[in-house]
Amino acid sequence: MEILKFSEEHNKFRQHVRNFVKTKIMPDVEQWTKDKLMPKSMWKVMGEAGLLCPDMPIEYGGKGGDFLHSVIVSEEMIKSGFFGAAPTAHSDIFVPYIAAYAPEDLKQKYLPGCTSGDVITAIAMTEPDAGSDLASMKTTVEEDGDTVVFNGSKIFISNGIVCDLLILAAKDPLEDDPYKAISLYLVEDGTPGFVRGAKLEKMGMHYQDTAELFFTDCRVPMANLIGDKGGGFKMLMDKLQQERLVVSIWAVCAAEYILEKTLEFYKEHAGPGKDVPKSQANQFALVEMATEVKLARIFLDSLLVDHIAGENVVVETSMEKFWATDMVNRLADRCLDIFGMGGSVDSCPIMKMSMDIKASKIYAGTNEIMKTIIAKYMNL
């Protein structure tokens, strides 16, 4: 069942991405995992190959592609066994804030570097005491002449260690309405008062850094505001449709990868005298998982069609995000059961991916938040 329509140019791009991942990424993934960081030099290699911000307009240094090019990059990375969340989050979640809301001079200044890999981005929303509840954030922004001053901290920031440019969400302490108090600003690496804390240790995605960030009298030009003052909450909400779709792409592709590797293992190792019993229980489990993965893929592809057409599918995207991320975690556990004790060692082809996808239920709003959003639209 073909829902997404890929052109011949898309298919050529897919082959290019597949070859790049095979020759430039996979040979070094194990080392990046040990180092717990993908080197900054790799970002430039990816940029030169056109894998960063592939839908960036030509006037900003891009190739003028569309969102399907971004989908292809995510799919091919994950199908190789490389979760690849850091570069795809940069391209499809972080940079779109600059492309959509920054004034023209900031677009000209930063977007070409975002595409080339010279400028790595991150977005800082989450705080120690304010995760999904953005209205409770405590990081402040106060005006002082033609500058603004930040004080506060952020946590669990993807690309926090390697980022050259940070999209920072902060609250005006003089505004009583928390939903009108948040604004977004660009903060460059090296700005006085901007300090990176520890690189956080995680159960998976070791090649993507996650960090704490601290701001003490951190001063940037007022001109670094993106969008309207006090419009931060609305901008964050407006971009969450695509962010949740991106997380859904990760989840569905990871599920397809895990299922494929498990089927290969089962067909080779199941049977009399072999490692795995060729039982009806295992057969039914694999059939059920294959059905769930197919359903998730069909729903995802239909949402991608609507999203690319500019339609509002916030509710449906929230449904797919919570269902697909729950599904891939459930599927990973069931597949590891089929591998038996072999599923607990590094050589198991799905073990690392099963760890990489654990936090997907939290990204872009927890799955509980997704259900709250859906319940609201259902008038429950």
Catalytic site positions = 243
Buried/exposed 24-61: b ≥16 CB within 10 Å, e otherwise: ebeeebeebbeebbbeeebbeebbebbbbbbbbeeebb
Tell me the C-alpha distance between 182 and 238, whole Å: 14
Q: Give Cβ neighbours of residue 54 (< 8 Å, ≥ 6 apart).
A: 13, 62, 63, 65, 69, 70, 72, 73, 91
Tell me the C-alpha distance between 113 and 366, whole Å: 31
- At 169 the three-state DSSP class reads strand
CA 72 from chain centre, in angstroms, equals 14
Q: Report which of 63, 157, 64 is spatially closest to residue 363, judged by C-alpha positions.
A: 157
Q: At what angle are helices 280-308 and 67-79 packed, to 10 degrees?
A: 160
